[in-house]
Structures are given as structure tokens and as C-alpha cells.
Amino acid sequence: MLREHVADKQSRANPCWRQVGVALVAGACVLVTGGRGTPMMDAAAAPTDVADPNYDEAAVRAFTLPNILEGPDGVAAKSATAWEQTSRPYQFRQLQRFVYGQVLPPVPVTVVGEVERAEVILSGPGDATTAAVRLQTRLRLGDRKDAAETAVLCYLPAEAAAAQASVPIFLKLNFAGNQAETTDEGVWMTTSWMRDRKGVVAHRATEATRGLNARRFPVAEMLSRGYGMATAYCGDFFPDHADGRPDSVLPSLGRPAEGELPPDEPGAIAAWAWGLSRVLDWLNTRPEVDEDAVIVVGHSRLGKTALWAGACDPRFAMVVSNESGCGGAALSRRNYGETVGVITARFPHWFCPRFREYAGRELELPVDQHTLVAMTAPRPLYVASAEGDRWADPRGEFLSAVAAGPVWRLYGRVGLGTRAYPEVGRSVGEYVRYHVRAGRHDLLLEDWPHFADMAEDMLGLTPEPAR
Ligand code: GTR
């Protein structure tokens, strides 16, 4: 039995900014120097709901974003040091208070039994095949009797594994169990609770789920570029339904299982983000893993989670948010697509209870999602959208990335470096990158090369392509 308690490493992320308020009007972005960022109410803005969302850019109300550079005394950071010492901790606390709930503490992570290691041949890329090493393990999360467990699946390029070389890793939570991420029949089937979906019977995954989401996890293609790929099921940390709390990791961390919850009580997104950090604890014990190059990736609700995980844990070297939408990268003040009212009514368990109070009152929120986006700074951040995913508000995701830029600037780094919305399929930016893909809400093979390109450019990686 290997016992691993990995203490948080000190910041590679040293977030920071300059004094700017950002006003965003109907998709145009105007920089306003030195403003306190007073919200402007617009009584005429119609509330949107799930049946009738606003998809009309002309009907997006005018608003002013809170100045993310500000600390508790209202003074805006003018240096990376001031950002790190005062404004970043304050803004991070605000995100905990108003959106995601308190950050959960680390626990000792223990391998249950042995790590299973297998040499496998994967089909792809294209007509080719790729030799891989597959690791699978169960991790026990904490010391308590009620400690949760999760199953982790990790693929490594075979040659690198044989040479005992460490490789950069993309780590991503999944929606339907590790077996749904690949057609590899050796992957363990999850036994955890699952939402009803294709191949799920009585809330348990069946063989019919194998490979169902493989399009979102292009193992052969990324291994052939020299990356490892790791994943775990989000439901191991919080079953994704409104009554999932008693069966989540939260009680084992001393949080209330039910009843009246404090306004800043963490929910599913906080639990999922915590889970990503525990998987990282284990990855960092493996010689095959380059611990300076673990990149957290997430799609949709798990894209929201990837952003929060990166905010909470500076060990993630880079963050990728794919179509994370409302409560993720998209600005809440923009009444376009999903709104705070809709998301907190449909998914009350995702956020802290206080977020719900801002349904229809988004203009009064002391933070907006650019605050979350800025938490990745000065590390590289990729924000990806899809043109047909209007529910997630692609433009709102882009504008949020624009508005977070001043923090990277405090470090002398260029974030997006543009305020012009790019044409479909084109990746723009430097330390913050963005593309809007053609098509619908999904994470597809064509998105991944953009992420890998950024990792190579901005983390200075030179992964050895597999032969
Ligand atoms: C939707 C939700 C989005 C997004 C998506 C997903 O129903 O409204 O915020 O999270 O689910 O996770 O697929």
C-alpha cells in the first residue's frame, strides 16, 4: 500500500493587474480607466428563461463589470506583487462567497491495492495504431471511515514510459465513467451512480456506455503528440443531481450532508474541482508524469469545474475551459443564453446557495466570471466555444477573456491581445487563447490541437511525438 499525502506546492501561479474597469455594451468592449465599476441597472432588460432564452445581441443590456484588480479597500493593484498579496486573495474569497463556496481542504490520498499497468495498442490516429501504457488505480480520498474512492485511468505514450521519461498530461473529469471515454475493453466499468442516459440502467452504467464519449478524449492522437491523458468520473466526487450531497465527498470532509446550508457552502463544482486536485496528488507521485506540465481540461459543467480547479490549485500548469458557459467563462451580466436564474433553478447543487440570490440580479453580483477567468493568471488559459452553442454564450466567454487580460498584463504578459471576435475556427491570443469552433455543444478532436499548440508555446514543452 502506497501512501501519498502531497502537500500543495507553492505557487507557480502568481496572479496579478492594472487599474481598469471594463464596460461591455452589446458585445463591444470599452475599457474605462480607474472606475469603481458601478453596475448600471437596466429595467428594460427582459429576464430570460430556459424556454425562451435571449439570443438577440441587440437585446443584451448595457453593464459595467466589477474591477477585478481591486482589493478589499477598493484600491486597484498596480503590480503583480499587489495583486498576489491583496487583490487576488480578496477576489478569490469573493468567488468563494458568492459563486462556488469555500475551498475544500486536501486529504491524504492512498492507492487501494496496486496500480494496474498494461501495455495496449490503441487504434488511431487515423488508420494508424499507437502503442500505449495504460495505468488504472483506485484512490482512497482521506483517512476517515467514510472516505470516498475514485478510479483513475491514465494513458502514456509507450516509448516514453519505457524510457522512464516524464510527459505532460491532460487531465479531464468525465460525465459517464472512464469506460465511456474509450473503446478499450480493459478499462474498468464505473459502479458509481449515474444520471439516466444511453446505456445507463437504474442509475448504473452498462457495457453499452463503453466508448460513448470517446470523441471527447482523443487518446491516440494526443499520445502520438507526446502527451499523456488522464481521466476520472465526476460522479465519484459528487453524484450529479440535486440530492447528491449525502453521497458526495462533502460529508467525509466534515461538511453538512443536508438541511439548511450556509450561504457559502460548497456544492458539486467545488467537490469536482477538489477531486481534480486529489487525482493530481496521485499523478504527481508517478515518475511518468511531468509535474510541471499537468493541464486541466473540462467541457461544459466540467469546464466550469476546470476553471475553478485551476483557481484553487496553482499546481495546474494550464487550464482549458471548453464551452463552460454560464457559471464558467461566460459573463453573468450578459443576458444571453443561460442565466444565473435558470442555472441555479435547474442545478441548485452546483454552486453555493448564495449564488441563487442573484437570479435576475446579475448586475448586483460583486464578481463576474472574468474574475474566475483571471484566477488562472499568469498561467496559460484556453477558452474554447462553439458557434452553435448559443446557450453557453460564446461571445460572453470571449468578452470575459478580454476583461481578464489586465491581470496577465501586470506580469508583463499579453492575454488575448485583441478585442476583435475571431472568425470561426481561428485560434487567437497569447497567454489567453480563444477559438470558436463550427458546430454544436461538444468537445471534439479538432479542439485538442489548439490546446496542445498552446501548451507547447506557453509552457515551453517539446513533447516527443510517438513513432
Ligand atoms: C446544461 C447546462 C449548462 C452546461 C451543460 C453541460 O444543461 O445548462 O450550463 O453545464 O448542461 O454540462 O453539458
Is the CB–ligand 1 distance for residue 326 below 6 Å? yes
pLDDT of residue 50: 65
| Cβ 391 vs Cβ 441: under 8 Å | yes
**To test ligand 1's pocket by mutation, which of 234, 302, 347 has the most ligand atoms within 8 angstroms of CB?**
347
Residues 256, 259, 263: CA angle, nearest 5 degrees: 75
| Cβ 383 vs Cβ 370: under 8 Å | no
Write down the residue that cell numbers 466540467 correspond to: 302
Write down the residue that cell numbers 474597469 correspond to: 21
| Cβ 186 vs Cβ 134: under 8 Å | yes
d(CA 68, CA 381): 17
> Measured in whole angstroms, how far is the alpha carbon of residue 465 from the centre of its chain?
26
pLDDT of residue 16: 27
Q: How far is the CA of 301 from the centre of ligand 1 (A)?
A: 5
pLDDT of residue 177: 98
Check if 241 is active-site: no
pLDDT of residue 49: 57
Q: How far is the CA of 178 from the centre of ligand 1 (A)?
A: 20
**To test ligand 1's pocket by mutation, which of 175, 195, 338 has the most ligand atoms within 8 angstroms of CB?**
338
Is the CB–ligand 1 distance for residue 300 below 6 Å? yes
Check if 441 is active-site: yes
Retrieve residue 116's grid coordinates.
Answer: 494496474
d(CA 300, CA 350): 12
Q: Does the global pTM surpass 0.85?
A: yes
Phi, psi values for residue 297, rounded to 5°: -125, 140
Strand order in the sheet with 432-437: 3-4, 109-123, 129-141, 148-157, 228-233, 167-174, 289-299, 318-322, 381-386, 432-437, 428-429
Is the CB–ligand 1 distance for residue 216 below 6 Å? no
| DSSP letter string, 356-376 | HTTTT-GGG-S--HHHHHHTT
pLDDT profile of the chain (467 residues), mean per 10: 29 28 38 29 41 93 97 98 98 98 98 98 96 98 97 97 94 98 98 96 97 97 97 98 98 96 98 98 97 98 99 98 98 97 97 98 98 98 98 98 98 98 98 98 98 97 81
Please, what sign has the CA dihedral across residues 408, 409, 412, 418?
Answer: positive
Is the CB–ligand 1 distance for residue 130 below 6 Å? no
